[in-house]
């Protein structure tokens, strides 16, 4: 792709405008609710930026997806979720009742099922430029060729211009150079069991592996409090036993 002088000039002007805009505004931050994570983020996740969420392993896809959806719920506004059509066969179709169960109202969701990574990114670019959208969630599996540094720069620029938060969800992928504001690595975590040893609220182990404006942090163990819509500290380490609790005999 060769840019003409004309295009280059227009781009420079655009960038200059953006830099002015950036200087004038301080980004709004959305606290996660988890005190340590918020402290590491300098108050919270920056709104209107590009953030990357990586699944630790293929098996952590559900946890990473959950984390991204929970962030979307916290960020608010409508959500445009873009994924490749064939991912549904491998990772399961997005189930709207399940989205509702983690506290995101499916009425605020528009789902785009696209044929390939290139169209996913094209749709993402279009959606990220639309100020009427709250969050764009771009789900890409493995290492698609069209997703390079330039592609992430485009998304980051679009997010900063429009104020739309863009979450780039990567499954079975390794980190690569990108223009994202933060990068997260998500692993599954045993939940704090409920009565009768039932699986409890969503629990995640979340690591901030990179951020532009500060040092990395974590991993933190978090639990998603759907009813309050925040992440809270997970305290399953000591208090809960990882098995059925048996009453101890009073006298040994």
Which CB sits closer to other proteins, 27 or 66? 66
Which CB sits closer to other proteins, 12 or 95? 95
Q: Which residues of this chain interact with other proteins, rule CB under 8 A? A: 59-63, 65-67, 69-70, 78, 80, 85, 88, 91-103, 105-114, 119, 122-123, 126-127, 130-133, 162, 187-191, 193-194, 196-205, 224, 226-227, 242-243
Which CB sits closer to other proteins, 173 or 178? 173
Which CB sits closer to other proteins, 97 or 238? 97
For residue 178, CA distances in Å to 18, 101, 174, 181 come to: 19, 32, 12, 9
Tokens of 79: 């959500």
From the CB of residue 228, how many other CB atoms can be counted at a distance below 10 Å?
Answer: 10
Tell the smallest beta-carbon distance from residue 160 to other proteins (Å). Answer: 15
- Which residues lie below 8 Å from residue 142, measured CB to CB, with a gap of 6+? 171, 172, 173
User: What does residue 116 show for φ and ψ, rounded to 5 degrees?
Assistant: -155, 170
Closest CA to 169 of 249, 94, 235: 94
Tell the smallest beta-carbon distance from residue 214 to other proteins (Å). Answer: 26
Tell the smallest beta-carbon distance from residue 240 to other proteins (Å). Answer: 10
Tell the smallest beta-carbon distance from residue 39 to other proteins (Å). Answer: 24
Angle at CA 182, nearest 5°, toward 180 and 188?
A: 120
């Amino acid at each position: 792709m060769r840019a003409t002088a004309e295009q280059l000039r227009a781009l420079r002007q655009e960038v200059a405008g953006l830099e002015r805009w950036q200087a004038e505004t301080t980004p709004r931050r959305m606290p996660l609710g988890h005190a340590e994570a918020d402290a590491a983020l300098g108050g919270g996740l920056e709104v209107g930026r590009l953030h990357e969420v990586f699944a630790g392993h293929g098996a952590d896809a559900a946890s990473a997806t959950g984390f991204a959806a929970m962030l979307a719920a916290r960020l608010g506004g409508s959500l445009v979720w873009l994924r490749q059509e064939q991912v549904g066969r491998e990772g399961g179709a997005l189930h709207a009742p399940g989205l509702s169960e983690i506290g995101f109202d499916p009425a605020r969701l528009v789902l785009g099922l696209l044929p390939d990574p290139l169209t996913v990114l094209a749709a993402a670019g279009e959606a990220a430029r639309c100020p009427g959208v709250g969050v764009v969630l771009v789900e890409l599996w493995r290492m698609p060729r069209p997703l390079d540094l330039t592609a992430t720069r485009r998304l980051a620029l679009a997010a900063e211009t429009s104020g739309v938060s863009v979450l780039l969800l990567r499954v079975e992928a390794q980190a690569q150079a990108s223009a994202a504001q933060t990068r997260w690595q998500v692993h599954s975590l045993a939940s704090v069991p409920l009565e009768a040893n039932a699986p409890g609220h969503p629990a995640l182990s979340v690591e901030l592996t990179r951020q532009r404006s500060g040092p990395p942090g974590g991993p933190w163990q978090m639990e998603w409090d759907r009813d309050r819509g925040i992440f809270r500290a997970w305290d399953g380490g000591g208090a809960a036993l990882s098995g059925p609790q048996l009453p101890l005999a009073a006298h040994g």
